[in-house]
Amino acid sequence: MPKAILIDTTRCTACRGCQVGCKEWKNFPAVPTKQQGSHQNPPDLTQYNFKLVRFSEHLDGDTVQWYFFPDACRHCVDAPCKNVSTVEGAIVQDKATGAILYTEKTAKEDFKTIKDSCPYDIPRQDPKTKQIVKCDMCIDRVQANLLPMCVKSCAMGAMSFGERADILKQAGERLEAVKKEFPKASLLNKDDVSVIYLVADTPAKYHKFAVADASDADPRMSRKDMLAGAVAPLRKLFDSLQG
C-alpha cells in the first residue's frame, strides 16, 4: 500500500530536528554557509541537504509573524520528473511505498530538464558525480519497518507517517480542527503528492514553491494534466528513435 507523510506546520517550531536527523542518517558532510540575514541555514537545498526548514517572516501591523516550512521532495503520485526522464531506470517509483527514487543513472539525465519539471524546485545535482539527488523517503528505513528519519526526529509531533489512506484521513481531521483558529488553513496538493503539508495561512507566505504553480496552464487543467500533455509527444518521439 502506498505511504504518505503529513507535515503539520502549525506544530512546527523550526527546531530543525528533522533537518539534522536527515543529514545524520545520510552521513552527509557539513555545508559551509555565510550569514545572509536569516535564521534559515543553509540558504537552500543542496546535494548534502535533502531536508531544509525554511524561515519566512512577514509584518502583520506591528507584529512579526514567523512561518516555518520543512521543505523536501513531495514524492508526487504522478511525478513530472519521472515523466520527463529519458534514461531507463534513472527515476523510478517504488511500488510498495509510492516513493520517487533517483538512481545513479540520473548522471546521464539532462539536469535542467529534470529540475525544471519539478513544480517544487527539489532536484539538486552532485557536481562531482553528476547524479541528481533528493529525499528518498528513507526507503531503507521504511523497508525495515522504521519511520523516515525526519518523522522520527520531530519532537513536536508535527510529522506523521503511515498508509496513504490513513494519513489523508488524519490530515482531514486535523485540518477541520485547525480551521477553527486559522480559517485560511489548507492541505497543499493533497491529491497529487505523498508528502502533504497542512498550513495555517496563504501558502506563498511559507515558501515560493510551497504549492505547484499552474498559473501558465489552462485553468480547466490540473498541473499534472498540463505536464503530461506537454511531455507525452516528446516521450513518443524518444521511444520511436530508440525502437
- Structural domain boundaries of the chain? 3-75+138-205, 80-136+214-242
**The domain 80-136+214-242: what is its CATH number?**
3.30.70.20
* 63-104 pLDDT per residue, tens: 989 999 999 999 999 999 999 999 999 999 999 999 999 999
Please tell me the predicted confidence (pLDDT) of residue 60.
85
Q: pLDDT tier at 44 (50, 70, 90 boundaries)?
A: very high
Q: 21 by DSSP, 3-state: which?
A: helix
Q: Which of 148, 141, 134 is nearest to 91 (CA)?
A: 134
Q: Name which of 57, 67, 92, 82 is nearest 12 in CA terms.
A: 67
Residues in the chain: 243
Q: Which of 84, 103, 89, 122 is nearest to 212 (CA)?
A: 122
| Matching fold, domains 3-75+138-205 and 80-136+214-242 | yes
pLDDT at site 220: 38
- Nearest Cα neighbor of 118 from 103, 134, 104, 129 is 134
pTM for this model (two decimals): 0.88
Beta bridge partners of residue 197, listed in sequence order: 7, 188
Looking at every residue in the chain, the average pLDDT score rounds to: 91
Instruction: Say which residues have a Cβ less than 8 Å from residue 239's Cβ, sequence separation at least 6.
Output: none
Is residue 178 over pLDDT 90?
A: yes
Strands 3-8 and 159-163: antiparallel
Separation of alpha carbons 89 and 103, rounded Å: 7
For residue 230, give the 3-state DSSP assignment: helix
Higher pLDDT, 137 or 59: 137
User: Which architecture does CATH list for 3-75+138-205?
Assistant: 2-Layer Sandwich (3.30)
DSSP per residue, 149-184? HHHHH-TTS-EEEEEHHHHHHHHHHHHHHHTTT-TT
- b (16+ CB within 10 A) / e for 116-130: ebbbbebbbbeeeee
Share of the chain above pLDDT 70, in %: 88
- DSSP state for residue 30 in the 8-state scheme: P
Q: What is the pLDDT of residues 189-240, one digit of tens each?
A: 999 999 999 999 999 999 999 999 754 333 433 445 555 444 444 444 444 4
Q: What confidence score (pLDDT) does residue 34 get?
A: 85
Cα distance between residue 45 and residue 66, in whole Å? 20
